[in-house]
Structure 1
């Protein structure tokens, strides 16, 4: 303890006062100088035990609005950082906004325990951030536009994934497809600039200039006005027409900057005793993990995954770099991210040790696992030995779509990796790691490739609760000693899940209908001639033998207002693979480079009421009010995956234009039909549903053509799924039911 005190005494800066008085109030600008690294006398970093998350644009805008108003934003909590641990080794941390680990300087510093997201957001406006700090978002001030409700100024956020920003009315919403097309045409270089703005300037530029003129509000205002006068027009607007209203806003912002540079921020020290190791029970929660439980950044409780990772990093700090290196592997590891990788490793280690299997261990579950004396050591071996990273790498390379094999190769395009759920991936990893103990992993994986692809894509469609099903699967893999057979037991595993689902009366796994059964469900044969459109009733069981296969039909078709059919990423894999293959864009969130595009545009049919009765799409319903047009329009049969670069000007054009079928010249549209996975024999229906007079005029004949086109493509897409994955190898699996 005396040695630790001596080391702590080397800290020479405002932190001396912080850790003696447990509270200081520096200026906001001083705090930002500390965390950005501009002030070298104050070293601020994140502890290894820290969660990672990113605020949404609305949260960023709201915080900066509060700052510009001079409102308090809550206190930040810091702990003492020392250069060496008790073993004399360097203490490794990462600076705020950086992914790189580095040693704490000899003089020590402070760790930001609570306030990471607020600080990162404040740094978006600070022009002095370190080059190693990641700034993939930009904050803009638009003086020529009215602000959102309850805001002083109009603020925009742009990101590397959304360089043209977000919707003006909702900062968290993506721009419409039409707006993204227009923005991309106007800004082909992809430079960050908010499309739905008037005359914005980056906040960092505004603050840099404010400092450059020594915080002279008049000189700064003159610079802003002069800068905007030099701008060309944007979307048909000129600065001259906006200047009269914008000038008072500029002066008001200058006043806010004056107040901003005088704001003080509250920093609270977390006492050293909160970090003490347990004295009585070595399996007691780490004190810092308890602190995070109680604290909850921004009022958000620490998630189970964050807690598990935090505790492991507390006991095994070296796992941080190891896990981060695995997460950088292109493909599945990158898609999952660090916390999912940790949870996967925890599950695999527990299975290896014969401990209780938890698909997503809660805090108490994890604590029970780590009480096993071999758990942490086996966990470290799993990530340090390369077993886990090797398995991820092998999975990625083996399951990736490879057109060199053949054009209809059943592999996954990089963007299609999101179709593989974490539980399904864990099942494959469990088998792969077990079988590699007895056989060469690459050899057995090559001969099991198509069976594994069949399994993971079946799981996406036909296992409604993959988390619970994976617990059954882990038990089955252990009891059957499947690792002794150098072939992935996909068929046998699904047979087991189907049998158990039936015996326990739980829909854990569903049988796949044959192509004939599916076609009979999809194609409308008997309908009311006067009101032929089918809505929700198409998903009702036809007889006692169809309920389970009807579930698959419904899941495939889609329902209601959702039309994001991810299976199209695999069905259109040749197209998806050849357009954009940046692995950084393999994400499950909304920051993806593709759209789900209605082939017959939604604004041709959605909620249109028309002006004449008996001549409207909404009139062609089998039952009043069942919104049959929505069930048809949002079906997988009317949706394709399409990149904005391929879809610039035709988003709202009729289907025959989008498919290049004008004048019924199907030969000219062959490539477009192929990329859209539309059989050439169906082109006549898409031409007929396009309308001849107006997009808004729907006759009975046009409505029928629309429904027919959607039904036939829906059935054809399922037939491709069934055939190209060779599901006949698994059947008659469905007779088990």
Structure 2
């Protein structure tokens, strides 16, 4: 077998996978390089820098790539032609639309570390990254201009994450061409022919000084011809490059297999992208049970990564073998020990091989989505569910395992209570899942029980006190509270003991049937306000109809580490009026980066250019106010027509605090939180006649 490979040979491992003698073993993880790393590798190749060798193990007729997958896939992406792809192309670890690599033949930018300007366009960033910094996103304005161009293609009618890779291009560039055109062509005339045949008519870049594809072609034939010739020759020199390989001896592999020890895999990957524990456990298990990869990808239902599926499945089996006890996240050493136990090994294989685990996950995700719940309007956006699972693995496992051992018929009312409790735990800092598990996992009535006990459970573990929105609204409408922020009172974030503040303290005492002194109540209030100020999941819940309608095709589990959300977190009162400004009232600084001043907006609908447009301008259209979840707070926003230069910040304070409470109120009302708190603890109805 060959001991050196050309770049084309390496690309063919995936371009022509059916005829390739090189395969990716099941022990390998997915493709994890960021676009910057792909671009930097190709810059190194063109500059003649060494990129290291490849490491293989060998069977009778195949080579299994043990080290070099990230580099091999990056080389493949440079050769991949999306305009003329064949069924033989099988990317090892990237699903869906493949990224496209472009080379700017005469770039006008000054990249910070590279000589050549390569740009990878991806599903999340179809316009590429900044020309001067391939690790930085384009500005909102630049992305919007690119989007306006891409929308000219008749197929690009949905959100930009659904655009075909043949309809987009790097926008912050001058004269980019798909690298594959240069690699495939016999001469520069063929390169120009491919540009003419494949690139869209609306092809135009930020720095190129041409209006469309026809003008670009004219430049390629005239002014840019010397640069194209030079780049063409440099790229063609890569045909002579041979990458060395090494083969691991059979005796080493035999020893590795006999001990089931991943030392070899860990060490040969230690110089690359670091493996986390779940990655390594996943690789170990795939080596034992190769079919697991496909099975676990299906089990996750596009909500749970395969590595996390295995982690959760392992803990379910371990709990089954431990009389339903809580099992903490399993590390590599623990997994190695457990997998040698036949009962654990067979239980895990059974969970994955049968439909049991998939059905459990599907049931749990269905409950969390509220999609078929008659008591809930609409559905929870998938991004909220994915973030919940990703950030709260123990909580999600609690739900799954409760369903696993408590096989009872669930009403819509119970399902809504399940979601309400879980989101309350996740969003308001519940901090003792092991105790919750060991005390409640077998309790069939757990979801029906009031939340009272779990609010500051034993005064340190539980969720924050969830305050009735009307009571919170009454508190923030008190002139004294407003004045504390305007005058920059050092205690402004704490609880005002008088007025509605005293009602809040009484509420705390009623919920826990005890008497809290002011200092403790003050701390509880401060922590709660911090959550409703800064947890953006609450905004997504309030804007869920807009999020589901506008970004329904958005899948945050992209294979590449390139998953910025497809909406902007837009400041209603512009950050440009606050950031680094010499004079700005402290109250405005305090509140400007909080939920009350943020909205999720698509590039198409956010016409504010993210800088100096006033709140009144941003929210002037009723349809924009509707999708921005602006309600009665509009009465204050519409008075903010210019930057506030004096101490008259009342409208800013009222607008943001009103909207913050309205956002929180969606959580309270739609999840029917009041039904989860013992009715005897809710204070009398707050006054509706509050002085302004």
Contact 1:181-1:648 at 8 Å conserved across structures? no
Q: 2 CA distance for matches of 1:113 and 1:445? A: 50
1:344 equivalenced with 2:323 (yes/no): no
Counterpart position of 2:364: 395
Runs of 5+ unmatched residues, structure 2:
157-162, 211-215, 497-517, 683-692
Cα deviations across residues 670-720 of structure 1 (Å, max 9, x unaligned)?
x4333322223x2221011232xxxx463433x331122111111222233
Counterpart position of 2:23: 45
Counterpart position of 1:117: 70
Q: 2 CA distance for matches of 1:528 and 1:637? A: 15
Moved more, 705-714 or 584-593: 584-593
Shift of 1:246: 4.8
Query: Aligned-pair RMSD on alpha carbons?
Result: 3.5
Contact 2:149-2:202 at 8 Å conserved across structures? no
Residues 126 and 720 of structure 1, relative CA distance in 2, 3 Å threshold: closer
1:151 equivalenced with 2:123 (yes/no): no
Cα deviations across residues 391-428 of structure 1 (Å, max 9, x unaligned)?
1222233332449946x627412232234232221110
Q: 1 CA distance for matches of 2:412 and 2:202? A: 58
Contact 1:571-1:717 at 8 Å conserved across structures? yes
Shift of 1:225: 11
Shift of 1:223: 7.2
Q: Which runs of structure 2 are paired with 1:79-478 in the superposition (5 Å)?
A: 79-82=57-60, 108-127=61-80, 130-133=88-91, 134=94, 136-145=98-107, 146-188=109-151, 189=156, 190=163, 191-209=167-185, 212-213=186-187, 234-235=205-206, 237-238=209-210, 246-276=224-254, 284=259, 286-287=260-261, 289-296=262-269, 298-327=271-300, 329=301, 334-354=302-322, 357-402=326-371, 405=374, 409=377, 411-420=379-388, 421-436=392-407, 439=408, 443-444=409-410, 446-463=412-429, 465=431, 469-478=432-441
Q: Which runs of structure 2 are paired with 1:12-51 in the superposition (5 Å)?
A: 13-14=1-2, 24-37=3-16, 40=19, 42-51=20-29
1:654 equivalenced with 2:626 (yes/no): no
Shift of 1:496: 5.2
Q: 1 CA distance for matches of 2:49 and 2:672? A: 62
Q: 2 CA distance for matches of 1:64 and 1:379? A: 42
Contact 2:10-2:76 at 8 Å conserved across structures? no
Contact 2:373-2:412 at 8 Å conserved across structures? no
Residues 357 and 300 of structure 1, relative CA distance in 2, 3 Å threshold: farther
Runs of 5+ unmatched residues, structure 1:
1-12, 15-23, 83-107, 559-563, 610-615, 622-627, 662-668
Counterpart of 2:457 (choices 499, 508, 522) is 499
Counterpart position of 1:512: 466
Shift of 1:565: 1.5
Contact 1:65-1:151 at 8 Å conserved across structures? yes
Shift of 1:176: 2.2
TM-score by length of 2: 0.81
Shift of 1:170: 2.8
Counterpart position of 2:512: none
Q: 1 CA distance for matches of 2:383 and 2:452? A: 26
Q: 2 CA distance for matches of 1:493 and 1:365? A: 35
Cα deviations across residues 592-617 of structure 1 (Å, max 9, x unaligned)?
322212122222333233xxxxxx4x
Counterpart position of 2:687: none
Contact 1:159-1:192 at 8 Å conserved across structures? no
Q: 2 CA distance for matches of 1:434 and 1:120? A: 43
Cα deviations across residues 82-110 of structure 1 (Å, max 9, x unaligned)?
5xxxxxxxxxxxxxxxxxxxxxxxxx211
Contact 2:25-2:65 at 8 Å conserved across structures? yes
Cα deviations across residues 534-564 of structure 1 (Å, max 9, x unaligned)?
5985434664122123112112213xxxxx7
Moved more, 139-148 or 56-65: 139-148
Moved more, 571-580 or 194-203: 571-580
